[in-house]
Amino acid sequence: MSEQTVWGSLELHIHPDARSVVRALAPDEPVILNRPHAAARAARFFVEKFPGKSLYAVKANPSPELVRILWDNGVTHFDVASIAEVRLVREALPEAELCFMHPVKTARAIREAYFEHGVKTFSLDTIEELEKIVDATTNDSGERARNLRLLVRLRVSSEYSELSLASKFGCDLADAAELLRVTRQHCDWLGVCFHVGSQAMTPFAYVQALERVRAAVAEASVVIDVVDVGGGFPSDYPGMEPPPLEDYFAIIHRHFEALPIAYNAELWCEPGRALCAEYSSLIVRVEKRRGEELYINDGAYGALFDAAHVEWRFPVKALEDDLEQPLQEFAFYGPTCDDADYMKGPFMLPADIQAGDYIEIGMLGAYGAAMKTGFNGFGNAEQIVVEDEPMASLYRGDRVDPRASDNVVSLR
Ligand SMILES: *Cc1c(COP(=O)(O)O)cnc(C)c1O
Residue (of 125, 105, 127, 143) closest to 182 by Cα position: 127
Distance between Cα 101 and ligand 1 center (Å): 9
Q: 191: Cβ below 6 Å to ligand 1?
A: no
Residue 335 beta carbon below 6 angstroms from any ligand 1 atom: no
With bands split at pLDDT 50, 70 and 90, how would you rate the model's confidence at 163? confident
pLDDT at 79 over 60: yes
Evaluated on CA atoms 197, 46, 369, 323, the torsion sign reads positive
CA dist 108 and 132 (Å) reads: 10
Given a cut of 80, is residue 11 above it in pLDDT?
no
Over residues 356-370, mean pLDDT? 96
Taking the domains of the chain in order of start, what are their residue ranges? 11-34+278-386, 37-276
Residue 12 neighbours by CB under 8 Å, 6+ apart: 385
Quote the ligand 1 centre to 25 CA distance (angstroms): 36
Cα–Cα dist 88/96, whole Å? 11
Count Cβ atoms within 10 A of the Cβ of residue 224 and give its class: 0-12 exposed, 13-18 middle, 19 or more buried.
buried
CB-CB contact of 223 with 264 (8 Å): no
| H helix intervals, 50-143 | 64-72, 83-92, 107-117, 127-136
CA-200 nearest atom, ligand 1: 7
What atom in ligand 1 is closest to the CA of residue 233?
Answer: 9
404 CB neighbour count, 10 Å cutoff: 12
How close is the Cα of 139 to the center of ligand 1, in Å? 31
Q: Please indicate whether residue 371, judged by its CB atom, sits closer than 6 Å to ligand 1.
A: no
Query: What does the DSSP 8-state code read for residue 171?
Result: B
Task: Give the CB-side neighbour count of residue 109, counting CA atoms within 13 A.
Answer: 18
Architecture of domain 11-34+278-386: Beta Barrel (2.40)
305 sits in which H/E element: helix 305-309
Is pLDDT above 60 for 1?
no
Cα 178 to chain centroid, rounded: 31
Model pLDDT for residues 113-133, shown as the tens digit of each residue: 999 999 999 999 999 999 999
Probe target for ligand 1 pocket from 70, 75, 79, with the most ligand atoms within 8 Å of CB: 79
Q: Check pocket membership of 37 for ligand 1, CB cut-off 6 A.
A: no
Torsions phi, psi for 370 (to 5 deg): -70, -20
Q: Smallest Cα–Cα separation from 10: which of 44, 39, 33?
A: 33
For residue 411, pLDDT over 90 is answered with no
Q: Does the CB atom of residue 333 touch ligand 1 within 6 A?
A: no
Does the domain at residues 37-276 carry the CATH identifier 3.20.20.10? yes
Q: At residue 97, what are phi and psi to the nearest 5 degrees? A: -90, 120
Inter-residue contact 272 to 231 (CB < 8 Å): yes
Identify the band that residue 22 occupies on the pLDDT scale cut at 50, 70 and 90: very high
Kindly state if the Cβ of 61 falls inside 6 Å of ligand 1: no
Question: Whose CA is closest to 48, among 412, 409, 399?
Answer: 409
Q: Has 171 been annotated as catalytic? A: no
- Ligand 1 in reach of 245 Cβ (< 6 A): no
> pLDDT tens for residues 175-234?
999 999 999 999 989 999 999 999 999 999 999 999 999 999 999 999 999 999 999 999
Examine the pLDDT at 28 and tell me if it is beyond 80. yes
Phi first, then psi: what are they for 31, rounded to 5°?
-125, 130
Distance CA 359, CA 353 (A): 9
Residue 398's pLDDT is what? 65
Report the residue among 98, 154, 165, 169 best suited for mutation to probe ligand 1: largest number of ligand atoms under 8 A from its CB: 165
Note the pLDDT of residue 3. 41
- Using the 8-state DSSP alphabet, how is residue 237 labeled? B
Report residue 50: phi and psi, to 5°: -70, 130
Contacts of 159 (CB under 8 A, 6+ apart): 205
Share of the chain above pLDDT 90, in %: 85
CA of 353 to the centre of ligand 1 (A): 37
Cβ of 101 closer than 6 Å to ligand 1, yes or no, is yes
Instruction: For residues 161 and 54, give the distance between their C-alpha atoms in angstroms, rounded to a whole number.
Output: 20
Between 401 and 368, name the one with better pLDDT. 368
Region 304-315: mean pLDDT is: 94
For ligand 1, whether the C-beta of 273 sits within 6 Å is yes
Q: How many angstroms is it from 295 CA to the middle of ligand 1? A: 32
Q: Which atom of ligand 1 is nearest to the CA of 163?
A: 7
Q: How far is the CA of 57 from the centre of ligand 1 (A)?
A: 6
Nearest residue (CA) to ligand 1, atom 5:
231
Identify which of 54, 59, 160 to mutate to test ligand 1's pocket (most ligand atoms within 8 A of the CB). 59
Rg, C-alpha atoms of the chain: 22
